Amino acid sequence: MRAPSLKLEMGILVEPSPYSVGNTAPPLSQKRILGMKRNVILGTAVIGLLLAVSGCAGTPSAPAADSSEDASAFKVGLVSDSGGFNDRGFNALSLAGLTLAEDAGVSFTSEARESASDSDLVPNLQYFAQQGYDLIIAVGFAQAGPVAEVAADYPDVDFAIVDVATEGDPALEDLDNVQGITFKEQEGAYLAGVLVGGLRASGFEKFDGDAIGTVGGEKQPSVDRFIAGFQQGIISQSPDTVLLNGYSQTFADQDACKQLANAQLDQGADAIFAVAGGCGLGALDAADQAGAWGIGVDADQAFLGDFILTSVVKKVDVAVSTVLKSFADGSFEGGTDVLYGIENDGVGIPAMSDAVPADVQAAVEAARAGIIDGSVVIDLTIK
């Protein structure tokens, strides 16, 4: 199957779609127990964007319409990884970043192309380079090799790649037209782990088993940073917790993640943290069906239902918007890396509700302060 491509016109996706989130997603929840009380990120802006996904990767589409009358507007291409823009998290946030930049007054035209598999990555990147786009944003660790290949062939085109640092990558570090964007996922995940571990230790609702599970997609550095931080946060509050972990080897197949989650639930897991893009929605669905807690990733996934305990928020939308702002004002620097963590508000968890016991809230805030002042050091080893 050829991958869908998206076209943005005036910041709104146009063309009807068989991939509509509205057709495939579970109903939106009207209440929360924990986490951000009413701040449903993907329930508004991102889902609105995703209501119109169609087309074919590698197949040229009509030029994107100008998002401004300004003749100086630059052209931006966005390429998803195999998780696709309908993942309701990582890729969806990158797409929302385009609208965030436009709302901030950045003048640009844009087109987004979705990759159904890793084999679509190079063709999608080449499409934008061949069409004379000024800036190409690649989303996901799997795009490191493809970006290195295409950026070397098109030295006059600038690239930004989310979840990859150019420093230390032999194929990227000498390319002065590529900027890396990375996150300290372990910091936000540690806070979620402190919350989950604290609630488990306090005997909070649904925490009556011995284990907490994590379901990763492909084993990649960013995925492992999420999992390691989460596990260590749990153990800091509830050291007797049995930690279960597995990888689906996909970011798209929800059944694969659901199968892994069900195996962990059968082993006594009271909560499942899904770090697997669209695939992870299957793991969260398994948690919901089993009456267990789910922990979302990348976006605040409270919109999935009341069973979402919290989410580890990774502000990919802000990062993409910031890249566009820097390109517009001339401060974009290829051959450099940008790093987001708790201290610069790039990762974290949504605000806790009053249902969280005061001592658990205090432990989370102490962990946040400790990460910032360096007294909390997070080991990236997965248990």
Where along the chain do its domains lie?
5-17+52-183+316-340, 185-314+352-373
Q: Which residues contact 119 (CB under 8 A, 6 or more apart)?
A: none
Candidates 347, 88, 41, 312; CA nearest to 196 is 312
Place of tokens 């620097």: 333
- Under 8 Å between Cβ of 58 and 120: yes
- What letters, b where the CB count within 10 A reaches 16 and e where it falls short, cover 40-66? bbbbebbbbbbbbbbbbbbeebeebee
Q: What is the pLDDT of residue 76?
A: 98
**Are domains 5-17+52-183+316-340 and 185-314+352-373 of this chain identical in fold?**
yes
Q: What is the pLDDT of residue 13?
A: 27
Tokens of 51: 């209501």
Fold assignment, 5-17+52-183+316-340: Rossmann fold (3.40.50)
- Under 8 Å between Cβ of 186 and 380: yes
Q: What is the pLDDT of residue 72?
A: 66
Place of tokens 């011995």: 210
Q: What is the pLDDT of residue 172?
A: 98
Fold assignment, 185-314+352-373: Rossmann fold (3.40.50)
Tokens of 363: 């432990």
- Give dist(CA 286, CA 292) in Å, integer: 8
Model's pTM, two decimal places?
A: 0.82
- At 256, give phi and psi (nearest 5°): -65, -45
**Could you list the mean pLDDT of each consecutive 10-residue stretch along the chain, which spans 383 residues?**
32 25 27 32 40 37 40 89 92 96 97 96 98 98 97 98 97 98 98 98 96 97 97 98 98 96 98 96 98 97 96 97 97 97 96 95 98 97 94
